[in-house]
Amino acid sequence: MRRAAALLAILLGSAASAEAPPPPAEGSVRIASFNAALSLPAPGELVQRLRLGGSKRIDIAAEIIQRVRPDVILINEIDHDRRGVAAALFRDHLRDGRGGAEGIDYPHIFTAPANTGAASGFDLDGDGRKDGPRDAFGYGRHEGHYGMAVLSRLPLDEAGARTFRETLWGDMPGNLLPAGHFGEAAGALRLSSKSHWDIPARLPDGRILHLLASHPTPPVFDGPEDANGRRNHDEIRFWVDYIGGADWMKDDQGRAGALAPGAAFVVLGDLNADPADGAARRGALQLLLALTDDPGPESAGGAAAADAGHRGDPALDTADWRAPPQGPGNLRVDYVLPSKGWEITGAGVFWPTPDSPLARLMGRGGPDHRLVWVDLR
């Protein structure tokens, strides 16, 4: 019933907003996750492009956000620089309406370094060099490639934020690290391909909502050792341990321990794992879904783009990829998973149907992931 109500809310949006969702119900906050595919292969290239006024892809990502109008949004694949200039410039870009949408302002930003492009000092891919994108702690052509940023209307407690970028993969009890494959490098490898963040946000009533953000590596692009598949599983399992009270982790600030019992949270990100289809090891994802209150956000566009032979409900899909055998097909890989106890007043995936006026924001020139949103009260 909840999923059907969320889809109905999308379809009941005004004619002016087409398949953009209506505003959240009174007293609700809208939380979103969006792999906006804004990363560029050269360091500083995204900053330069934003300073020059943007690009078609930047404008499409901005308009999608302006149509959905979340109060808090995690953006995956926005390049990180040491002063957070790219995130700030994209925030400024959002203030000007795009494609007939109204501009939106986010006074609060959180961004931090990622493992992507950060040199490991090892030849991890066996090509005889130590300076390639696959030799970094996380795949990347430059440091901060495929980074993350949180934009928020809610105040963020930056001093209280925890990052786990430097957490070693081998420190996770029961990890799936293929140590034999990596040899002497195994003990130095980090768990996060980008990072894991716990960012406290202050709700209008003064309570704290923990934003648990990450972007695990895709479970492909490796060999029979399944290093990426194993790492994807363990990156997702980190959240299972963290919200479940495990005490093995220590953050980059030196503080040990997991999320406090009873704390309100929402897990956000492109987790690169589908509960029914694709190449991921699904055990950790299934545990995470069981520990949270998954509203099952849907879209009519996803249902219309269904791939033959997939087991999962296509209305839940969030990524538009090539159908088999050329690709994995459309998958559900982007999530907004609140802790139990909230009233979920709406949820959806921004994926207009082919006959919608907003279908121009899909396909060529735009991101291959869809924005996912959930309204919480």
**Mean of the per-residue pLDDT values of the chain:** 94
CB of 372 closer than 8 Å to CB of 340: no
Prior bond to 297 cis, omega within 30? no
What does the block give as tokens for 296? 């099952």
What does the block give as tokens for 136? 């970094």
Among candidate residues 244, 245, 212, the one with its CA nearest the CA of residue 337: 212
**Count of other CB atoms within 10 angstroms of residue 15:** 6
pLDDT at 367 over 90: yes
Per-residue pLDDT tens over the stretch 153-163: 999 999 999 99
pLDDT at 10 over 70: no
Task: Find the mean pLDDT for residues 317-330.
Answer: 94
Task: Find the mean pLDDT for residues 163-190.
Answer: 98
CB of 351 closer than 8 Å to CB of 335: no
- pLDDT for residue 80: 98
DSSP helix/strand/coil, 186:
helix
The C-alpha atoms of residue 109 and residue 370 are separated, in whole angstroms, by: 21
DSSP state letters, 308-352? TT--S-GGG--B--PPTTTS--SB--EEEEEPTT--EEEEEE---
pLDDT at 48 over 60: yes
DSSP state letters, 356-370? SGGGGGSSTTS-SB-
**Count of other CB atoms within 10 angstroms of residue 152:** 22
pLDDT at 300 over 80: yes
- pLDDT for residue 192: 98
pLDDT band at 4 (very low <50, low <70, confident <90, very high): very low
pLDDT at 172 over 90: yes
The C-alpha atoms of residue 370 and residue 317 are separated, in whole angstroms, by: 8
What does the block give as tokens for 56? 């078609």
Give the H or E element holding residue 73. Answer: strand 72-76
pLDDT at 13 over 50: no
Among candidate residues 376, 214, 374, 218, the one with its CA nearest the CA of residue 298: 374
The C-alpha atoms of residue 226 and residue 177 are separated, in whole angstroms, by: 10
Per cent of the chain over pLDDT 90 is: 93
Name the phi and psi angles at 197, rounded to 5. Answer: -120, 140
With a CB cutoff of 8 Å and minimum separation 6, the contacts of 59 are: 98, 99
pLDDT band at 365 (very low <50, low <70, confident <90, very high): confident
